[in-house]
Homo-oligomer: A and B are copies of this chain.
């Protein structure tokens, strides 16, 4: 019960970058700083660029920076980019619709839990990471 590694990485990268927005970050530097495998991170960064979160600058002294301001990026958008936008509260039993006519209480409980998560992802902006204690 967790996000995929890729999603975790994406959140880690963008979360870190939002603390140093307006700076240009190279894949190498991010890899060392964030303990993400260099080549995998590099590919992920270009994916995040194609997804519209970042823009890349090629050539010497190149790197990645935000294409949109962090306060216009919601966590739900990042998760959607890495694992697809599937916010439907799916049946915890794996059925599309409940197969147990008398078991839907489970669904209600599950939907509540699921909604808590989705709501959090939809309401939290990347820039919210900065506002803290």
Contact = CB atoms under 8 A, between A and B. Distances in A.
Interface of A: 1-3, 5, 7-9, 11-12, 15-16, 19, 34, 79, 83, 90, 92-95, 99-100, 102-106, 109-110, 112-113, 116-117, 120, 124, 128-133
Given A8-B92, A15-B93, A113 B120 contact: yes
B103 A19 contact: yes
Contacts of A116: 112-113, 116-117
Contacts of A99: 12, 16, 34
Contact of A16 (B8, B100, B131): B100
Question: What is the predominant secondary structure among interface residues of chain A facing chain B?
Answer: helix
A92 B3 contact: yes
Given A3-B92, A83-B1, A109 B120 contact: yes
A105 B93 CA distance: 33
A100 B2 contact: no
